[in-house]
Chain A
Amino acid sequence: MATFDEPGYYDPDELVQIQRHPPVTPWMETPVDFRPGTFIYPGKPKNLHVLGLPHPHEWAVTDADWKLPQGWQQIILDGMAERLSRYRSFQLFMDICVRCGACADKCHFFIGSGDPKNMPVLRAELLRSIYRKDFTALGKVFGKLAGGRPLTEDVIKEWFYYFYQCTECRRCSVFCPYGIDTAEITMMGRELLGLLGLYVNWVIEPVANCYRFGNHLGIQPHGMVDTLEFMAGDIEEATGITVDLPINKKGAEILFFTPSGDFVADPGIYTCMAYMLLFHELGIDYTWSTYASDGGNFGLFTSHETMKRLNAKIYAEAKRLGVKWILGGECGHMWRVVHQYMNTMNGPADFLEVPTSPVTGTVFEHARSAKTVHIMEFLADVIKHGKLPLDPARNDHIRVTFHDSCNPARGMGILEEPRYVLRNVCNHFYEMPENTIREQTFCCGGGAGLGTDENMEMRLRGGLPRGNAVRYVQERYGVNQLAAMCAIDRATLVTVCDYWAPGVNVTGISELVANATVFRGEKRRTHNLRLEPIPGMADELADADAVLETRGEVGAHA
Chain B
Amino acid sequence: MDGLTRVLRNRQHAIVERWCQDALAVYSSRAALVFAREQDQFANPIGHSLRTGTRAVFEALLDGADDERIRRALDDILRTRAIQQLAPSAAVEFLFHLKDVIRQELGSASNEAVCSHDLTEFMRRIDHAVLMAFDVYVAYRERLCELRINEVKRTIPWSVGRRKTG
Same complex = yes
Kindly state whether residue B151 has any CB partner on chain A within 8 Å: yes
Write out the residue numbers on chain A whose beta carbons fall within 8 Å of the beta carbon of B83: 112, 457, 460-461, 464, 499
Contact A18 B100 (CB under 8 A): yes
Name the CB-closest residue of B to A264: B157
Distance between Cα atoms of A24 and B80 in the complex (Å): 23
Contact B107 A12 (CB under 8 A): yes
Distance between Cα atoms of A20 and B20 in the complex (Å): 13
State how many residues of chain B have any CB contact under 8 Å with chain A: 52
Indicate whether A115 sits within 8 Å of B147 (C-beta atoms), given known contacts A12-B107, A15-B104, A35-B85. Answer: no
Kindly state whether residue B10 has any CB partner on chain A within 8 Å: no
CB distance from A99 to the nearest CB of B (A): 13
Contact flags A472-498 to B (C-beta < 8 A → 1, else 0): 100000000000000000010011001
Distance between Cα atoms of A249 and B79 in the complex (Å): 51
Write out the residue numbers on chain B whose beta carbons fall within 8 Å of the beta carbon of A115: 28, 31, 85
Interface of A is mostly: helix
Name the CB-closest residue of B to A108: B45
Write out the residue numbers on chain B whose beta carbons fall within 8 Å of the beta carbon of A116: 28, 30-31
Kindly state whether residue A8 has any CB partner on chain B within 8 Å: yes
Contact B108 A12 (CB under 8 A): yes
CB distance from B109 to the nearest CB of A (A): 10
Indicate whether A468 sits within 8 Å of B30 (C-beta atoms), given known contacts A113-B84, A265-B157, A461-B84. Answer: no
Kindly state whether residue B112 has any CB partner on chain A within 8 Å: yes
Indicate whether A112 sits within 8 Å of B46 (C-beta atoms), given known contacts A20-B97, A499-B147. Answer: yes
Kindly state whether residue A186 has any CB partner on chain B within 8 Å: no
Distance between Cα atoms of A132 and B85 in the complex (Å): 30
Contact B147 A5 (CB under 8 A): no
Contact A499 B159 (CB under 8 A): no
Name the CB-closest residue of A to B141: A457
- CB contact between B151 and one of A12, A264, A457, A495 (< 8 Å): that residue: A495
CB distance from B98 to the nearest CB of A (A): 12
Kindly state whether residue B128 has any CB partner on chain A within 8 Å: no
Kindly state whether residue B89 has any CB partner on chain A within 8 Å: no
Name the CB-closest residue of B to A30: B28
Contact B151 A453 (CB under 8 A): yes
Name the CB-closest residue of A to B163: A226
Indicate whether A499 sits within 8 Å of B100 (C-beta atoms), given known contacts A265-B155, A460-B83. Answer: no
Contact B157 A465 (CB under 8 A): no
CB distance from A389 to the nearest CB of B (A): 29
Contact B147 A456 (CB under 8 A): yes
CB distance from B17 to the nearest CB of A (A): 15
CB distance from B162 to the nearest CB of A (A): 5
Kindly state whether residue B6 has any CB partner on chain A within 8 Å: no
Contact A265 B43 (CB under 8 A): no
Contact B159 A226 (CB under 8 A): yes
CB distance from B153 to the nearest CB of A (A): 10
Contact A7 B111 (CB under 8 A): yes
Contact A468 B45 (CB under 8 A): yes
Distance between Cα atoms of A33 and B151 in the complex (Å): 25
Contact B143 A499 (CB under 8 A): yes
Indicate whether A460 sits within 8 Å of B144 (C-beta atoms), given known contacts A33-B85, A111-B43, A115-B28. Answer: yes
Contact A114 B42 (CB under 8 A): no
Kindly state whether residue A10 has any CB partner on chain B within 8 Å: yes
CB distance from A356 to the nearest CB of B (A): 35
- CB contact between B29 and one of A21, A269, A453 (< 8 Å): that residue: A21
Interface centre among A8, A10, A105 (most CB of B within 10 A): A105
Contact flags A217-242 to B (C-beta < 8 A → 1, else 0): 10000010011001001000000000
- CB contact between B43 and one of A5, A22, A266, A435 (< 8 Å): that residue: A435
Contact flags B120-158 to A (C-beta < 8 A → 1, else 0): 100000000000000000000001100110111011011
Write out the residue numbers on chain B whose beta carbons fall within 8 Å of the beta carbon of A472: 41-42
Kindly state whether residue B39 has any CB partner on chain A within 8 Å: no
27 pairs of residues in contact across A and B, judged by CB atoms under 8 Å: A6-B116, A7-B112, A10-B103, A10-B110, A12-B108, A15-B103, A20-B22, A22-B25, A33-B85, A105-B43, A105-B44, A110-B31, A111-B44, A113-B84, A116-B31, A217-B157, A265-B154, A460-B144, A464-B83, A465-B42, A468-B45, A491-B151, A495-B147, A495-B150, A495-B151, A498-B147, A498-B150
Question: Which positions in B face A, CB cutoff 8 Å?
Answer: 22, 25-32, 34-35, 38, 40-46, 79-80, 83-85, 97, 100, 103-104, 106-108, 110-113, 116-117, 120, 143-144, 147-148, 150-152, 154-155, 157-159, 162, 166
Given A38-B85, A105-B43, A264-B159, output 13 extra A-B contacts at Cβ < 8 Å: A12-B107, A111-B44, A112-B80, A113-B85, A114-B27, A114-B31, A115-B28, A115-B31, A461-B84, A491-B151, A494-B154, A499-B144, A499-B147
